[in-house]
Structure 1
Amino acid sequence: MSEGHKTPPELVDYIIKVGIDKATKPLFKLMLLGIFGGAFIALGGAGNIISSSTLVKTDPGLAKFLGAAVFPVGLILVVTLGAELFTSNCLLSLAYVNKKITLIQVIRNLVIVYLFNYVGSFIVAYITVKGGSFNPDSLNYLQDMATHKVHASACSLVIKGILCNVLVCGAVIQSYTSRDTIGKLVGAWLPIMLFVLIGYDHSIANMFYLTATKLVNPSLFGISSILYNLFYVTIGNILGALAIGLPLYFSYYKKLDN
Protein backbone atom coordinates (compact mmCIF):
# COMPACT_ATOMS: atom_id res chain seq x y z
CA MET A 1 0.00 0.00 0.00
CA SER A 2 1.39 3.37 -1.01
CA GLU A 3 1.58 6.09 1.59
CA GLY A 4 0.54 8.98 -0.63
CA HIS A 5 -2.01 7.36 -2.91
CA LYS A 6 -3.99 4.19 -3.59
CA THR A 7 -2.70 1.76 -6.20
CA PRO A 8 -5.09 0.90 -9.09
CA PRO A 9 -6.19 -2.42 -7.52
CA GLU A 10 -6.80 -0.68 -4.17
CA LEU A 11 -8.69 2.02 -6.02
CA VAL A 12 -11.04 -0.41 -7.75
CA ASP A 13 -11.75 -2.10 -4.42
CA TYR A 14 -12.50 1.29 -2.86
CA ILE A 15 -14.87 2.27 -5.71
CA ILE A 16 -16.78 -0.97 -5.12
CA LYS A 17 -17.03 -0.27 -1.38
CA VAL A 18 -18.27 3.26 -2.08
CA GLY A 19 -20.83 1.80 -4.48
CA ILE A 20 -22.12 -0.61 -1.84
CA ASP A 21 -22.48 2.25 0.64
CA LYS A 22 -24.36 4.41 -1.86
CA ALA A 23 -26.64 1.58 -2.97
CA THR A 24 -27.71 0.78 0.59
CA LYS A 25 -28.17 4.37 1.76
CA PRO A 26 -31.60 5.17 3.27
CA LEU A 27 -34.09 7.04 1.09
CA PHE A 28 -34.08 10.26 3.12
CA LYS A 29 -30.29 10.52 3.00
CA LEU A 30 -30.27 9.94 -0.76
CA MET A 31 -32.89 12.65 -1.24
CA LEU A 32 -31.11 15.18 0.96
CA LEU A 33 -27.62 14.50 -0.40
CA GLY A 34 -29.05 14.47 -3.92
CA ILE A 35 -30.40 17.98 -3.40
CA PHE A 36 -26.99 19.10 -2.16
CA GLY A 37 -25.27 17.47 -5.13
CA GLY A 38 -27.49 19.25 -7.63
CA ALA A 39 -27.17 22.55 -5.78
CA PHE A 40 -23.36 22.36 -5.66
CA ILE A 41 -23.09 21.68 -9.40
CA ALA A 42 -25.57 24.50 -10.07
CA LEU A 43 -23.49 26.90 -8.01
CA GLY A 44 -20.46 25.94 -10.07
CA GLY A 45 -22.54 26.57 -13.19
CA ALA A 46 -23.60 30.00 -11.92
CA GLY A 47 -19.97 30.85 -11.26
CA ASN A 48 -19.11 29.72 -14.77
CA ILE A 49 -21.74 32.01 -16.31
CA ILE A 50 -20.83 35.06 -14.24
CA SER A 51 -17.06 34.77 -14.70
CA SER A 52 -17.26 33.95 -18.42
CA SER A 53 -19.72 36.68 -19.34
CA THR A 54 -17.49 39.47 -18.03
CA LEU A 55 -14.92 38.99 -20.80
CA VAL A 56 -16.76 37.12 -23.54
CA LYS A 57 -17.01 40.21 -25.79
CA THR A 58 -13.38 41.30 -25.45
CA ASP A 59 -11.51 38.02 -24.98
CA PRO A 60 -13.66 34.90 -25.58
CA GLY A 61 -10.76 32.51 -24.97
CA LEU A 62 -9.90 33.96 -21.58
CA ALA A 63 -13.60 34.14 -20.71
CA LYS A 64 -14.03 30.43 -21.35
CA PHE A 65 -10.88 29.64 -19.40
CA LEU A 66 -12.08 31.61 -16.37
CA GLY A 67 -15.47 29.90 -16.43
CA ALA A 68 -13.81 26.50 -16.70
CA ALA A 69 -11.53 27.34 -13.76
CA VAL A 70 -14.47 28.31 -11.54
CA PHE A 71 -16.94 25.52 -12.36
CA PRO A 72 -15.02 22.68 -10.62
CA VAL A 73 -15.80 24.23 -7.22
CA GLY A 74 -19.17 22.50 -7.52
CA LEU A 75 -17.69 19.03 -7.87
CA ILE A 76 -15.10 19.74 -5.18
CA LEU A 77 -17.98 20.41 -2.78
CA VAL A 78 -19.69 17.19 -3.86
CA VAL A 79 -16.52 15.16 -3.24
CA THR A 80 -15.43 16.75 0.03
CA LEU A 81 -18.89 16.96 1.63
CA GLY A 82 -20.14 13.57 0.47
CA ALA A 83 -23.08 14.75 -1.62
CA GLU A 84 -24.76 12.45 -4.14
CA LEU A 85 -24.30 13.19 -7.84
CA PHE A 86 -25.93 11.18 -10.62
CA THR A 87 -23.02 11.28 -13.04
CA SER A 88 -20.40 9.93 -10.65
CA ASN A 89 -22.91 7.52 -9.08
CA CYS A 90 -23.00 5.72 -12.43
CA LEU A 91 -19.79 4.11 -11.14
CA LEU A 92 -22.09 1.88 -9.06
CA SER A 93 -21.78 -0.34 -12.14
CA LEU A 94 -18.51 -1.70 -10.69
CA ALA A 95 -20.22 -2.93 -7.52
CA TYR A 96 -22.99 -4.43 -9.65
CA VAL A 97 -20.56 -6.28 -11.94
CA ASN A 98 -18.80 -7.52 -8.80
CA LYS A 99 -22.20 -8.88 -7.63
CA LYS A 100 -22.10 -6.86 -4.42
CA ILE A 101 -25.34 -5.01 -5.24
CA THR A 102 -28.38 -5.75 -7.42
CA LEU A 103 -29.57 -4.01 -10.57
CA ILE A 104 -32.64 -2.82 -8.67
CA GLN A 105 -30.36 -1.12 -6.11
CA VAL A 106 -28.42 0.59 -8.90
CA ILE A 107 -31.59 1.84 -10.59
CA ARG A 108 -33.08 2.96 -7.26
CA ASN A 109 -30.01 5.02 -6.43
CA LEU A 110 -29.63 6.60 -9.86
CA VAL A 111 -33.30 7.50 -10.27
CA ILE A 112 -33.62 9.04 -6.80
CA VAL A 113 -30.35 10.94 -7.04
CA TYR A 114 -31.15 12.18 -10.56
CA LEU A 115 -34.54 13.54 -9.52
CA PHE A 116 -33.23 15.24 -6.40
CA ASN A 117 -30.19 16.61 -8.21
CA TYR A 118 -32.79 18.42 -10.30
CA VAL A 119 -34.49 19.72 -7.17
CA GLY A 120 -31.17 21.13 -5.98
CA SER A 121 -30.35 22.65 -9.35
CA PHE A 122 -33.82 24.20 -9.59
CA ILE A 123 -33.50 25.79 -6.15
CA VAL A 124 -30.18 27.41 -7.09
CA ALA A 125 -31.51 28.45 -10.52
CA TYR A 126 -34.55 30.10 -8.95
CA ILE A 127 -32.57 31.91 -6.26
CA THR A 128 -29.89 33.00 -8.71
CA VAL A 129 -32.32 34.35 -11.30
CA LYS A 130 -34.90 35.88 -8.96
CA GLY A 131 -32.20 37.19 -6.62
CA GLY A 132 -30.60 39.22 -9.40
CA SER A 133 -27.20 37.51 -9.37
CA PHE A 134 -26.95 37.72 -13.17
CA ASN A 135 -26.26 41.06 -14.85
CA PRO A 136 -27.43 41.69 -18.46
CA ASP A 137 -24.21 40.27 -19.92
CA SER A 138 -24.57 37.13 -17.82
CA LEU A 139 -28.19 36.70 -18.86
CA ASN A 140 -27.29 37.01 -22.55
CA TYR A 141 -24.42 34.54 -22.17
CA LEU A 142 -26.67 32.07 -20.33
CA GLN A 143 -29.39 32.25 -22.99
CA ASP A 144 -26.89 31.84 -25.83
CA MET A 145 -25.42 28.77 -24.14
CA ALA A 146 -28.82 27.22 -23.44
CA THR A 147 -30.08 27.88 -26.97
CA HIS A 148 -27.05 26.09 -28.39
CA LYS A 149 -27.64 23.12 -26.08
CA VAL A 150 -31.30 22.59 -26.96
CA HIS A 151 -30.62 22.83 -30.71
CA ALA A 152 -27.66 20.43 -30.77
CA SER A 153 -28.15 17.10 -32.57
CA ALA A 154 -28.90 13.95 -30.59
CA CYS A 155 -25.64 12.38 -31.76
CA SER A 156 -23.64 15.41 -30.63
CA LEU A 157 -25.31 15.41 -27.21
CA VAL A 158 -24.65 11.72 -26.64
CA ILE A 159 -21.00 12.01 -27.66
CA LYS A 160 -20.44 15.12 -25.54
CA GLY A 161 -22.21 13.39 -22.66
CA ILE A 162 -19.93 10.36 -22.94
CA LEU A 163 -16.73 12.39 -23.00
CA CYS A 164 -17.98 14.63 -20.21
CA ASN A 165 -18.58 11.76 -17.82
CA VAL A 166 -15.33 10.05 -18.69
CA LEU A 167 -13.69 13.19 -17.30
CA VAL A 168 -16.13 13.64 -14.39
CA CYS A 169 -15.76 10.03 -13.24
CA GLY A 170 -12.03 10.33 -13.85
CA ALA A 171 -11.99 13.36 -11.57
CA VAL A 172 -13.91 11.54 -8.83
CA ILE A 173 -11.68 8.47 -9.17
CA GLN A 174 -8.58 10.66 -8.91
CA SER A 175 -10.00 12.20 -5.74
CA TYR A 176 -10.39 8.66 -4.36
CA THR A 177 -6.78 7.90 -5.30
CA SER A 178 -5.22 10.53 -3.08
CA ARG A 179 -5.02 10.17 0.68
CA ASP A 180 -4.62 13.89 1.39
CA THR A 181 -6.98 16.84 0.86
CA ILE A 182 -4.76 18.80 -1.54
CA GLY A 183 -4.31 15.74 -3.73
CA LYS A 184 -8.07 15.22 -3.82
CA LEU A 185 -8.67 18.86 -4.80
CA VAL A 186 -6.11 18.90 -7.60
CA GLY A 187 -7.11 15.46 -8.84
CA ALA A 188 -10.75 16.47 -9.14
CA TRP A 189 -10.20 20.03 -10.36
CA LEU A 190 -8.24 19.53 -13.57
CA PRO A 191 -10.45 16.98 -15.41
CA ILE A 192 -13.58 19.02 -14.61
CA MET A 193 -11.91 22.19 -15.82
CA LEU A 194 -11.03 20.39 -19.04
CA PHE A 195 -14.58 19.21 -19.79
CA VAL A 196 -15.97 22.73 -19.32
CA LEU A 197 -13.19 24.25 -21.43
CA ILE A 198 -13.85 21.84 -24.30
CA GLY A 199 -17.62 22.26 -24.02
CA TYR A 200 -18.85 18.78 -23.13
CA ASP A 201 -22.33 18.21 -21.67
CA HIS A 202 -23.12 17.31 -18.07
CA SER A 203 -26.76 16.39 -17.41
CA ILE A 204 -26.94 17.93 -13.94
CA ALA A 205 -25.18 21.14 -14.98
CA ASN A 206 -27.57 21.35 -17.94
CA MET A 207 -30.50 21.08 -15.54
CA PHE A 208 -29.28 24.35 -14.06
CA TYR A 209 -28.44 26.15 -17.31
CA LEU A 210 -31.70 25.23 -19.04
CA THR A 211 -33.94 25.80 -16.02
CA ALA A 212 -32.35 29.18 -15.28
CA THR A 213 -32.83 30.19 -18.91
CA LYS A 214 -36.46 29.08 -18.81
CA LEU A 215 -36.98 31.26 -15.72
CA VAL A 216 -35.33 34.23 -17.42
CA ASN A 217 -37.06 33.88 -20.79
CA PRO A 218 -39.97 31.38 -20.74
CA SER A 219 -40.69 31.82 -24.45
CA LEU A 220 -37.16 31.01 -25.67
CA PHE A 221 -37.81 27.25 -25.79
CA GLY A 222 -40.30 24.74 -24.40
CA ILE A 223 -40.13 22.06 -21.73
CA SER A 224 -39.82 19.48 -24.52
CA SER A 225 -36.52 21.07 -25.57
CA ILE A 226 -35.16 20.70 -22.04
CA LEU A 227 -36.25 17.05 -21.91
CA TYR A 228 -34.71 16.44 -25.34
CA ASN A 229 -31.33 17.73 -24.19
CA LEU A 230 -31.38 15.94 -20.85
CA PHE A 231 -32.45 12.62 -22.37
CA TYR A 232 -29.54 12.35 -24.79
CA VAL A 233 -26.95 13.89 -22.46
CA THR A 234 -28.00 11.51 -19.68
CA ILE A 235 -27.58 8.51 -21.98
CA GLY A 236 -24.12 9.80 -22.87
CA ASN A 237 -23.22 10.34 -19.22
CA ILE A 238 -24.19 6.76 -18.34
CA LEU A 239 -22.13 5.38 -21.23
CA GLY A 240 -19.19 7.57 -20.22
CA ALA A 241 -19.15 6.13 -16.70
CA LEU A 242 -19.20 2.61 -18.11
CA ALA A 243 -16.43 3.51 -20.56
CA ILE A 244 -14.02 4.46 -17.77
CA GLY A 245 -15.28 2.28 -14.91
CA LEU A 246 -15.55 -1.16 -16.47
CA PRO A 247 -12.06 -1.23 -18.07
CA LEU A 248 -10.61 -0.29 -14.68
CA TYR A 249 -12.53 -3.11 -13.02
CA PHE A 250 -11.58 -5.82 -15.51
CA SER A 251 -7.96 -4.65 -15.59
CA TYR A 252 -7.28 -4.50 -11.87
CA TYR A 253 -9.85 -6.21 -9.65
CA LYS A 254 -8.47 -9.75 -9.96
CA LYS A 255 -4.99 -8.44 -9.20
CA LEU A 256 -6.26 -7.30 -5.81
CA ASP A 257 -7.69 -10.77 -5.12
CA ASN A 258 -4.37 -12.35 -5.99
Structure 2
Amino acid sequence: MGFSKPENILELTVENGVKKVKYSLVQTMILGFEAGAFIAIGYLLFIRVTAPLSPHLEGLSSLIGASVFPIGLILTLLAGGELLTGNMMAVPLAWMASKVSTRHILVNWFLVSVSNFVGAIFVAYFFGHLVGLTETAPYLGKTISIAEHKLEASFLQAFISGIGCNWLVSAAVWLSYGANDMFGKIAGIWFPTMTFVAIGFQHVVANMFVIPAAIFAGHFSWMAYLDNFVPVFLGNAVGGTIFIAIAYWYAYRKNESATTVSKMIKSMEKVG
Protein backbone atom coordinates (compact mmCIF):
# COMPACT_ATOMS: atom_id res chain seq x y z
CA MET A 1 0.00 0.00 0.00
CA GLY A 2 1.85 3.07 -1.28
CA PHE A 3 1.50 6.59 0.05
CA SER A 4 3.05 10.02 -0.41
CA LYS A 5 5.02 12.05 2.11
CA PRO A 6 3.23 15.07 3.61
CA GLU A 7 5.22 17.57 1.53
CA ASN A 8 4.14 15.70 -1.62
CA ILE A 9 0.52 15.60 -0.42
CA LEU A 10 0.75 19.38 -0.17
CA GLU A 11 1.48 19.62 -3.89
CA LEU A 12 -1.25 17.11 -4.74
CA THR A 13 -3.76 19.10 -2.69
CA VAL A 14 -2.79 22.34 -4.44
CA GLU A 15 -3.37 20.62 -7.80
CA ASN A 16 -6.78 19.42 -6.65
CA GLY A 17 -7.66 22.90 -5.38
CA VAL A 18 -6.85 24.36 -8.80
CA LYS A 19 -8.87 21.66 -10.56
CA LYS A 20 -11.91 22.37 -8.40
CA VAL A 21 -12.17 26.03 -9.43
CA LYS A 22 -11.76 25.11 -13.11
CA TYR A 23 -14.88 22.95 -13.23
CA SER A 24 -17.72 24.41 -15.27
CA LEU A 25 -20.86 25.61 -13.51
CA VAL A 26 -22.73 22.46 -14.57
CA GLN A 27 -19.92 20.17 -13.39
CA THR A 28 -19.68 21.93 -10.04
CA MET A 29 -23.43 21.77 -9.44
CA ILE A 30 -23.71 18.09 -10.42
CA LEU A 31 -20.70 17.03 -8.36
CA GLY A 32 -21.88 19.19 -5.44
CA PHE A 33 -25.32 17.58 -5.58
CA GLU A 34 -23.73 14.12 -5.54
CA ALA A 35 -21.57 14.96 -2.53
CA GLY A 36 -24.47 16.44 -0.57
CA ALA A 37 -26.58 13.37 -1.30
CA PHE A 38 -23.74 10.98 -0.41
CA ILE A 39 -23.15 12.65 2.97
CA ALA A 40 -26.91 12.60 3.62
CA ILE A 41 -27.08 8.89 2.79
CA GLY A 42 -24.23 8.27 5.22
CA TYR A 43 -26.20 10.07 7.93
CA LEU A 44 -29.38 8.23 6.98
CA LEU A 45 -27.47 4.96 7.42
CA PHE A 46 -26.24 6.20 10.81
CA ILE A 47 -29.85 6.75 11.92
CA ARG A 48 -31.11 3.45 10.55
CA VAL A 49 -28.50 1.32 12.34
CA THR A 50 -28.44 3.19 15.67
CA ALA A 51 -32.12 4.04 16.28
CA PRO A 52 -33.22 0.44 17.09
CA LEU A 53 -30.45 -0.01 19.69
CA SER A 54 -31.21 0.20 23.39
CA PRO A 55 -30.55 3.55 25.12
CA HIS A 56 -28.35 1.62 27.54
CA LEU A 57 -25.93 1.02 24.65
CA GLU A 58 -25.42 4.71 23.90
CA GLY A 59 -21.62 4.52 23.72
CA LEU A 60 -21.66 1.42 21.53
CA SER A 61 -24.43 2.95 19.43
CA SER A 62 -22.31 6.05 18.74
CA LEU A 63 -19.36 3.88 17.73
CA ILE A 64 -21.46 1.73 15.39
CA GLY A 65 -23.06 4.79 13.80
CA ALA A 66 -19.71 6.50 13.41
CA SER A 67 -18.27 3.40 11.73
CA VAL A 68 -20.87 3.44 8.93
CA PHE A 69 -21.15 7.21 8.36
CA PRO A 70 -17.84 7.49 6.42
CA ILE A 71 -19.45 5.82 3.38
CA GLY A 72 -20.62 9.33 2.42
CA LEU A 73 -17.11 10.80 2.24
CA ILE A 74 -15.71 7.64 0.66
CA LEU A 75 -18.24 7.88 -2.18
CA THR A 76 -17.58 11.60 -2.55
CA LEU A 77 -13.81 11.27 -2.86
CA LEU A 78 -13.60 8.02 -4.80
CA ALA A 79 -16.72 8.04 -6.97
CA GLY A 80 -16.65 11.80 -7.50
CA GLY A 81 -18.15 14.78 -5.71
CA GLU A 82 -17.51 18.33 -4.59
CA LEU A 83 -17.90 18.68 -0.83
CA LEU A 84 -17.81 22.08 0.85
CA THR A 85 -15.73 21.00 3.84
CA GLY A 86 -13.01 19.47 1.67
CA ASN A 87 -12.97 22.53 -0.56
CA MET A 88 -12.51 24.71 2.52
CA MET A 89 -9.06 23.14 2.76
CA ALA A 90 -7.99 22.45 -0.84
CA VAL A 91 -9.02 25.69 -2.56
CA PRO A 92 -7.43 28.05 0.03
CA LEU A 93 -4.25 25.98 -0.24
CA ALA A 94 -4.24 26.61 -4.00
CA TRP A 95 -4.73 30.32 -3.19
CA MET A 96 -1.68 30.28 -0.91
CA ALA A 97 0.29 28.79 -3.80
CA SER A 98 -0.89 31.77 -5.92
CA LYS A 99 -2.74 29.43 -8.28
CA VAL A 100 -6.26 30.79 -7.70
CA SER A 101 -7.79 34.12 -6.67
CA THR A 102 -9.90 35.13 -3.68
CA ARG A 103 -12.86 35.40 -6.05
CA HIS A 104 -12.33 31.75 -7.05
CA ILE A 105 -12.59 30.73 -3.39
CA LEU A 106 -15.78 32.69 -2.75
CA VAL A 107 -17.52 31.54 -5.95
CA ASN A 108 -16.52 27.92 -5.40
CA TRP A 109 -17.67 27.87 -1.78
CA PHE A 110 -20.99 29.48 -2.73
CA LEU A 111 -21.76 27.11 -5.60
CA VAL A 112 -20.72 24.02 -3.65
CA SER A 113 -22.74 25.15 -0.61
CA VAL A 114 -25.87 25.51 -2.74
CA SER A 115 -25.41 22.22 -4.60
CA ASN A 116 -24.54 20.31 -1.41
CA PHE A 117 -27.70 21.70 0.18
CA VAL A 118 -29.84 20.60 -2.77
CA GLY A 119 -28.37 17.08 -2.64
CA ALA A 120 -28.84 16.76 1.13
CA ILE A 121 -32.38 18.15 0.99
CA PHE A 122 -33.24 15.71 -1.82
CA VAL A 123 -32.35 12.76 0.41
CA ALA A 124 -34.06 14.29 3.46
CA TYR A 125 -37.32 14.98 1.60
CA PHE A 126 -37.67 12.06 -0.79
CA PHE A 127 -36.07 9.26 1.23
CA GLY A 128 -36.59 10.59 4.73
CA HIS A 129 -40.00 12.26 4.41
CA LEU A 130 -41.84 10.69 1.46
CA VAL A 131 -40.50 7.16 1.88
CA GLY A 132 -40.62 7.61 5.67
CA LEU A 133 -37.11 6.42 6.47
CA THR A 134 -36.69 9.15 9.11
CA GLU A 135 -40.34 9.50 10.11
CA THR A 136 -41.35 6.09 11.43
CA ALA A 137 -40.59 4.69 14.87
CA PRO A 138 -37.92 4.43 16.16
CA TYR A 139 -36.16 6.47 13.46
CA LEU A 140 -38.16 9.65 13.96
CA GLY A 141 -37.18 9.88 17.61
CA LYS A 142 -33.51 9.47 16.71
CA THR A 143 -33.70 12.10 13.96
CA ILE A 144 -35.38 14.62 16.26
CA SER A 145 -32.92 13.91 19.07
CA ILE A 146 -29.90 14.49 16.82
CA ALA A 147 -31.34 17.67 15.32
CA GLU A 148 -32.31 19.02 18.73
CA HIS A 149 -28.83 18.39 20.12
CA LYS A 150 -27.29 20.35 17.25
CA LEU A 151 -29.76 23.23 17.47
CA GLU A 152 -29.46 23.67 21.23
CA ALA A 153 -25.74 24.47 20.95
CA SER A 154 -24.86 28.13 21.42
CA PHE A 155 -23.21 30.10 18.61
CA LEU A 156 -19.79 29.66 20.23
CA GLN A 157 -20.31 25.96 20.90
CA ALA A 158 -21.45 25.30 17.31
CA PHE A 159 -18.53 27.34 15.95
CA ILE A 160 -15.90 25.47 17.99
CA SER A 161 -17.55 22.13 17.22
CA GLY A 162 -17.36 23.05 13.52
CA ILE A 163 -13.62 23.67 13.86
CA GLY A 164 -13.07 20.21 15.35
CA CYS A 165 -15.17 18.61 12.65
CA ASN A 166 -13.37 20.03 9.65
CA TRP A 167 -9.96 19.68 11.21
CA LEU A 168 -10.64 15.93 11.01
CA VAL A 169 -12.60 15.88 7.73
CA SER A 170 -9.90 17.90 5.98
CA ALA A 171 -7.31 15.54 7.44
CA ALA A 172 -9.28 12.66 5.91
CA VAL A 173 -9.28 14.40 2.51
CA TRP A 174 -5.55 15.08 2.91
CA LEU A 175 -4.84 11.41 3.64
CA SER A 176 -6.96 10.25 0.69
CA TYR A 177 -4.90 12.45 -1.64
CA GLY A 178 -1.74 10.90 -0.23
CA ALA A 179 -2.74 7.24 -0.69
CA ASN A 180 -1.87 5.56 -3.97
CA ASP A 181 -4.49 2.78 -3.99
CA MET A 182 -8.17 2.47 -3.20
CA PHE A 183 -7.74 0.52 0.04
CA GLY A 184 -5.32 3.12 1.35
CA LYS A 185 -7.67 5.94 0.40
CA ILE A 186 -10.60 4.26 2.16
CA ALA A 187 -8.55 3.71 5.32
CA GLY A 188 -7.32 7.32 5.25
CA ILE A 189 -10.88 8.60 4.91
CA TRP A 190 -12.49 6.18 7.34
CA PHE A 191 -10.73 6.77 10.64
CA PRO A 192 -10.69 10.60 10.86
CA THR A 193 -14.32 10.72 9.67
CA MET A 194 -15.39 8.05 12.14
CA THR A 195 -13.62 10.01 14.89
CA PHE A 196 -15.44 13.30 14.27
CA VAL A 197 -18.82 11.53 14.16
CA ALA A 198 -18.19 9.54 17.35
CA ILE A 199 -17.12 12.71 19.16
CA GLY A 200 -20.20 14.58 17.95
CA PHE A 201 -18.63 17.50 16.10
CA GLN A 202 -20.89 19.46 13.74
CA HIS A 203 -20.52 19.17 9.95
CA VAL A 204 -22.29 21.81 7.89
CA VAL A 205 -23.31 19.44 5.07
CA ALA A 206 -24.40 16.62 7.40
CA ASN A 207 -26.58 19.19 9.18
CA MET A 208 -28.12 20.06 5.79
CA PHE A 209 -29.70 16.61 5.96
CA VAL A 210 -30.56 15.84 9.56
CA ILE A 211 -32.03 19.20 10.63
CA PRO A 212 -34.26 19.59 7.53
CA ALA A 213 -35.31 15.93 7.97
CA ALA A 214 -36.63 16.88 11.42
CA ILE A 215 -38.24 20.02 9.98
CA PHE A 216 -40.05 18.00 7.30
CA ALA A 217 -41.38 15.83 10.14
CA GLY A 218 -42.96 18.91 11.75
CA HIS A 219 -40.29 19.81 14.29
CA PHE A 220 -38.16 22.97 14.63
CA SER A 221 -38.01 25.83 12.11
CA TRP A 222 -35.94 27.00 9.18
CA MET A 223 -34.88 30.06 11.16
CA ALA A 224 -33.50 27.77 13.88
CA TYR A 225 -31.61 25.90 11.16
CA LEU A 226 -30.14 29.16 9.83
CA ASP A 227 -28.97 30.05 13.34
CA ASN A 228 -27.07 26.76 13.36
CA PHE A 229 -25.82 26.96 9.78
CA VAL A 230 -23.86 30.19 10.22
CA PRO A 231 -21.58 29.21 13.15
CA VAL A 232 -21.05 25.67 11.86
CA PHE A 233 -20.13 27.00 8.39
CA LEU A 234 -17.67 29.46 9.92
CA GLY A 235 -16.21 26.82 12.23
CA ASN A 236 -15.78 24.35 9.38
CA ALA A 237 -14.06 27.09 7.34
CA VAL A 238 -11.61 27.78 10.16
CA GLY A 239 -10.97 24.08 10.78
CA GLY A 240 -10.14 23.34 7.15
CA THR A 241 -8.41 26.58 6.18
CA ILE A 242 -6.36 27.35 9.28
CA PHE A 243 -5.79 24.02 11.05
CA ILE A 244 -4.93 22.04 7.91
CA ALA A 245 -4.29 24.28 4.87
CA ILE A 246 -2.37 27.14 6.50
CA ALA A 247 -0.69 24.91 9.10
CA TYR A 248 0.68 22.46 6.55
CA TRP A 249 1.53 25.16 4.04
CA TYR A 250 3.67 26.92 6.62
CA ALA A 251 5.23 23.70 7.94
CA TYR A 252 6.13 22.00 4.67
CA ARG A 253 6.85 24.98 2.43
CA LYS A 254 9.17 26.32 5.10
CA ASN A 255 10.99 23.01 5.35
CA GLU A 256 11.19 22.81 1.58
CA SER A 257 12.76 26.26 1.42
CA ALA A 258 15.27 25.33 4.11
CA THR A 259 16.19 22.15 2.24
CA THR A 260 16.66 24.07 -1.00
CA VAL A 261 18.98 26.59 0.66
CA SER A 262 20.95 23.75 2.26
CA LYS A 263 21.40 22.05 -1.11
CA MET A 264 22.54 25.32 -2.71
CA ILE A 265 25.15 25.87 0.03
CA LYS A 266 26.47 22.32 -0.36
CA SER A 267 26.70 22.75 -4.12
CA MET A 268 28.64 25.99 -3.71
CA GLU A 269 31.04 24.32 -1.25
CA LYS A 270 31.72 21.51 -3.74
CA VAL A 271 32.42 24.02 -6.50
CA GLY A 272 34.72 25.97 -4.20
Please classify the TM superposition score into its range, dividing by the shorter chain length: over 0.9
The alignment's TM-score, normalised by the length of structure 2, stands at 0.91
Question: Is it true that 1:112 corresponds to 2:99 in the alignment?
Answer: no
AA in 1 matched with 2:39: I
Instruction: Report Cα offsets for 1:4-24 as digits up to 9, x if no partner.
Output: 111111110110000000011
Provide closer, same or farther for how the CA distance between residues 56 and 112 of structure 1 changes in structure 2, counting only shifts above 3 A.
farther
Counterpart of 2:3 in 1: which secondary structure? coil
Counterpart of 2:138 in 1: which secondary structure? helix
AA in 2 matched with 1:245: A
Partner of 1:212: 213
Residues matched between the structures, number: 254
Equivalents in 2 of 1:100, 1:255: separation in Å?
Answer: 20
Q: 1:17 aligns with which of 15, 18, 26?
A: 15
Equivalents in 2 of 1:160, 1:150: separation in Å?
Answer: 12
Equivalent pairs: percent with the same residue? 35
Equivalents in 1 of 2:106, 2:46: separation in Å?
Answer: 31
Q: CA deviation at 1:44?
A: 0.3
Partner of 1:247: 247
Q: 1:50 aligns with which of 48, 51, 75?
A: 48
TM-align CA RMSD: 1.2
Partner of 1:102: 101
Q: CA deviation at 1:254?
A: 4.9
Equivalents in 2 of 1:147, 1:86: separation in Å?
Answer: 23
Partner of 2:224: 225
Equivalents in 1 of 2:229, 2:163: separation in Å?
Answer: 13
Partner of 1:68: 66
AA in 2 matched with 1:190: F
Which structure has the larger Rg over C-alpha atoms? Answer: 2
AA in 2 matched with 1:65: L
Equivalents in 2 of 1:26, 1:56: separation in Å?
Answer: 48
8 Å CA contact 1:56–1:64 kept in 2: the answer is no
The alignment's TM-score, normalised by the length of structure 1, stands at 0.95
Provide closer, same or farther for how the CA distance between residues 98 and 123 of structure 1 changes in structure 2, counting only shifts above 3 A.
same
Q: CA deviation at 1:255?
A: 4.5
Equivalents in 1 of 2:76, 2:255: separation in Å?
Answer: 30
Equivalents in 1 of 2:43, 2:154: separation in Å?
Answer: 22
Counterpart of 1:5 in 2: which secondary structure? coil
Partner of 2:264: none
Q: Which runs of 5+ in 1 are unaligned?
A: none
Equivalents in 1 of 2:49, 2:213: separation in Å?
Answer: 16
Q: CA deviation at 1:40?
A: 0.2
8 Å CA contact 1:55–1:62 kept in 2: the answer is no
Q: CA deviation at 1:138?
A: 1.0
Equivalents in 1 of 2:54, 2:74: separation in Å?
Answer: 25
Counterpart of 1:90 in 2: which secondary structure? helix
AA in 2 matched with 1:137: P
